[in-house]
Amino acid sequence: MEILQRLAEQLGEPLDSSQLASFARYGQLILEWNRRVNLTSVTDWDELQVRLFADSLALVPYVRRACAGASDTCRLVDIGTGAGIPGIPLKLALPWLEVTLVEATGKKVAFLEAALRALGLSGVSAIHARAETLAHDPRYRGAFDVATARAVAPLPALLELCLPFCRPGGWGIFPKGAEVDGELAGAGRALEILGARVVAVEPVPLEALRGTTIVVVRLERPVPEKYPRRPGMPAKRPL
């Protein structure tokens, strides 16, 4: 895991030997399961360390800041988590973080449950559900300090899917790519309707992660009860 170790140090979030061993085991599980379940397009070991793991660790400083305002345990929800990215890497980097992984595809949830057992992680749960439905469950609505998602949807739809899970004052932390400017330009109405504002748009300052930009959104008030709309609508008809 030399590549991950180096990039983590450059990000200011060094990993100890136990954490690196957990990342190695997690990476092996992803590649093993990916032969029969479409978890990710990343199939190269070096690329996995960069595109999945280091890219997730770039969120750690923002999660730390968001959690500084938590009253007790800091809770993060990862929407459309797929292979557990970025939720599981964030948990491995921040063991005190309570993580909920939300995934709509049953085979991917089976992988997540197997990975959590193999890694011996506590304080992490995997839920088989659509975000549009789960966000209306009172056990989860407004229950999190941080919501995140990677490669799920353009920003206007992503805000509708994720922000209902946040408490007022909670953060949405989203890694985006080269299309970020256009997505931000189209997100104004969603931000206004949902009651949020953009507080940071920051490129990741590493050559290996060039092109990744972190968008941070703060929820100012509870999201109106009608959002998110029924499954498929946020993506089909963005706010």
Give the pLDDT confidence of 85-140 residue by residue, as tens digits: 999 999 999 999 999 999 999 999 999 999 999 999 999 999 999 999 999 999 99
- Number of domain units in the chain: 1
**C-alpha–C-alpha distance, residues 118 and 29, integer Å:** 9
Report CA-CA distances (Å) from 169 to 146, 166, 194.
9, 8, 13
Q: Which domain holds residue 52?
A: 2-236
The residue-averaged pLDDT of 65-75 equals 86
pTM above 0.85, yes or no: yes
Computed over every residue of the chain, the mean pLDDT equals 95
Plot region of 171 (φ>0 → left; ψ -120 to 50 → alpha; else → beta):
beta
